[in-house]
Amino acid sequence: MHSCPPAIRADKRNNGKIILLNIIDIPYQLPTSEAEEFKLERELKLEYVRQIIESAGCKVEITVRIAHRLSHAIEQLANSRILILL
């Protein structure tokens, strides 16, 4: 188990869920709708990682957000649920 990535070890110790968060960062001048076309592409790329994590026996969720500020997107996700951020 020591060769497992830290997130998988933490998940197994705490019976949690791993959230794969990908944030599409766009300039303030653009509306967030401009990046919608990239959202599905990012989700599909994370599907491979989901399969690896699930094969280790962990629960996993893919979340792709579009934001003007990375920190704001992370804060919104953390505030929307109880999270332990590693």
Does residue 74 register a pLDDT over 60? yes
Query: How far is Cα 37 from Cα 40, in angstroms, rounded to an integer?
Result: 7
Question: pLDDT class for 82, splitting at 50, 70, 90?
Answer: low
**DSSP class of residue 84?**
-
Could you tell me the pTM of the whole model? 0.74
Query: How far is Cα 23 from Cα 69, in angstroms, rounded to an integer?
Result: 9
Model pLDDT for residues 44-68, shown as the tens digit of each residue: 999 999 999 999 999 999 999 999 9
Query: How far is Cα 62 from Cα 65, in angstroms, rounded to an integer?
Result: 10
What are the structural domain ranges in the chain? 6-80
**DSSP class of residue 35?**
G
Please give the pLDDT value at position 34.
Answer: 86
Query: What is the percent of the chain where pLDDT is above 90?
Result: 47
- Mean pLDDT rounded to a whole number for the chain: 86
Q: What is the CA radius of gyration of the chain?
A: 15
